[in-house]
Amino acid sequence: MKRLALKRVVGEKTRVDINVNIGVAFGPHAYEYMSYLGVVSRDRLSILINSWDEVSMVDRNMIWEDVLVSFTLLLLPYNAF
């Protein structure tokens, strides 16, 4: 996460490929992206929330904006593999 934080300070984004059919990240930065999602969600959401359906739109939007500051998401269809 240190490397990602340094990139964020200088305004550089990390590119992550997303398979839109199954919603899974892949490629060289997929693990970094998934780890970041875990850190952000643990930081911003209560441990008492049982499922994503219980997360408010305000919290979802805050998490989404935070992700977009650090990552560029390239959405690819399944047949692109």
The whole-angstrom separation of Cα 45 and Cα 24 is 22
pLDDT of residue 80: 54
What 3-state class would DSSP assign to 22?
A: coil
The whole-angstrom separation of Cα 17 and Cα 8 is 19
Provide the whole-model pTM.
0.79
Instruction: Give the DSSP per-residue string, 33-63.
Output: HHHHHHHHHHHHS-TT--SGGGS-HHHHHHH
pLDDT of residue 11: 79
pLDDT of residue 10: 78
Looking at per-residue pLDDT, the higher value among 15 and 79 belongs to 15
What 3-state class would DSSP assign to 4?
A: helix
- pLDDT tens profile 11-69: 789 999 999 888 899 989 999 999 999 999 899 999 999 998 999 999 999 999 999 99
